[in-house]
Chain A
Amino acid sequence: MNFEAQPIINLDRCTKCGLCVSGCPENALEMTDQGPKLRQPSICTYCTDCEALCPTGAIRTPLTVTWGSNYLS
């Protein structure tokens, strides 16, 4: 499994509503006093659901776009 990308959580924008924690299909997030954090980063599949659920834009799951190896020389 590829662990290199994880959701980026901006605690300054977080209201601790908990939607990301309850909505994570892998149960990878937990709520702490500071806000949500990845309880088990290794089980996060980067599905981006947490970003979609967050009402304040505190979670970002940015994407990158590249050509496939056929087009890279």
Chain B
Amino acid sequence: MDSQSLISLEFFATLNPGTFNALAGRAFQREIHTGYNLVIEGMSAEACYFVLSGQLRVSRMNRDGRIQILARLGAGEPVNVISLLKEDRINHASVESLTDSTVLVLLANDFDDFLSQYPDFSTALLRNLAKRMAKTTSLAANLSLYTVRSRLAQFLIDLAERPQYAGGWTQDEIAAHIGTVRDVVGRLLREFESQGLIERDRQRIILLDYEALMSEAQNYDV
């Protein structure tokens, strides 16, 4: 990826030219294929990454082996930063490539140098972490406050409004993201379909009734 394309990505756009050039000099690009496990939860954290193209999935597994999808990350997003900031430097979550992707790799020692020498780099990371924390807080609130049916309605609306993330979700992944199991997602999708809220056309879920879905999405668990 050339410098012009790189600087157009959100994270890099906030860096001053000196920091940007230093980063371009120290980090290196890596191509990864679909299904590649870039980061494995529980292993030693060796680097952080910046997505240049493609889509990655961040997940954590609980003791029962159930997986929670924490986020999907696209171009410009930093990956595995929290693991490098933690004292134990153990990967906090797993990251898998959902598509053929390109990432910029910044090794742990170089990451430390950038944190101490380039304040705008640290500020950009803090802003990104604040954005992620806000999303994670919303996710946690949703899991505790809303029914599974509401969470699924919210999730469908959210995906439809963010076309860049609206594709490629399996029912297992949807279930893992909203904190339930695949069978429940399948049953609720059939219920939404029978009630005329959505329509299924092979791989497509078409949202038909915004008001009714919003009403479902705002149902608290009482």
Measuring CB to CB, which residues of chain A are less than 8 angstroms from any residue of chain B?
2, 4-5, 10, 12-13, 45-46, 48, 51-52, 57, 60-68, 70-71
Point out the residues of chain B lying under 8 angstroms from A48, CB to CB. Answer: 170-171, 186
Across the A-B interface, the 6 shortest Cβ-Cβ residue pairs: A5-B203, A65-B159, A46-B202, A62-B168, A64-B167, A68-B208
Inter-subunit contact B203/A10 (CB<8 Å):
no
28 A-B pairs with C-beta separation under 8 A: A2-B201, A2-B202, A4-B202, A4-B203, A10-B35, A46-B202, A46-B203, A51-B171, A52-B171, A52-B182, A60-B170, A62-B167, A62-B203, A63-B169, A63-B170, A63-B203, A64-B169, A64-B204, A65-B159, A65-B169, A65-B207, A66-B160, A66-B163, A66-B204, A66-B205, A68-B199, A68-B208, A70-B208
> Is the CB of B206 closer than 8 A to any CB of chain A?
yes
Point out the residues of chain A lying under 8 angstroms from B24, CB to CB. Answer: none
Q: Mark B185-222, 1 if CB is under 8 A from A, else 0.
A: 01000000000000101111111101000000000000
Inter-subunit contact A67/B206 (CB<8 Å):
yes
The residue in B174, B199, B201 that gathers the most chain A C-beta atoms within 10 A of its C-beta is B201
Measuring CB to CB, which residues of chain B are less than 8 angstroms from any residue of chain A?
34-35, 156, 159-160, 163, 166-172, 174, 182, 186, 199, 201-208, 210
Point out the residues of chain A lying under 8 angstroms from B170, CB to CB. Answer: 48, 51, 60-63
* Assembled-state Cα–Cα distance A6/B153 (Å): 25
Point out the residues of chain A lying under 8 angstroms from B168, CB to CB. Answer: 62, 64
Point out the residues of chain B lying under 8 angstroms from A62, CB to CB. Answer: 167-170, 203
| Complex: chain B residue closest to A4, CB-CB | B202
| Complex: chain B residue closest to A47, CB-CB | B202
* Assembled-state Cα–Cα distance A70/B98 (Å): 31
Least CB distance, A50 to chain B, in whole angstroms: 11
Point out the residues of chain B lying under 8 angstroms from A10, CB to CB. Answer: 34-35
* Assembled-state Cα–Cα distance A70/B201 (Å): 16
Inter-subunit contact A64/B182 (CB<8 Å):
no
* Assembled-state Cα–Cα distance A70/B212 (Å): 14
Point out the residues of chain A lying under 8 angstroms from B172, CB to CB. Answer: 51, 57
Inter-subunit contact B203/A67 (CB<8 Å):
no
Point out the residues of chain A lying under 8 angstroms from B199, CB to CB. Answer: 68
Least CB distance, A4 to chain B, in whole angstroms: 7
* Assembled-state Cα–Cα distance A10/B99 (Å): 13
* Assembled-state Cα–Cα distance A20/B117 (Å): 54
Point out the residues of chain B lying under 8 angstroms from A45, CB to CB. Answer: 202
The residue in B156, B170, B172, B186 that gathers the most chain A C-beta atoms within 10 A of its C-beta is B170
Inter-subunit contact A67/B182 (CB<8 Å):
no
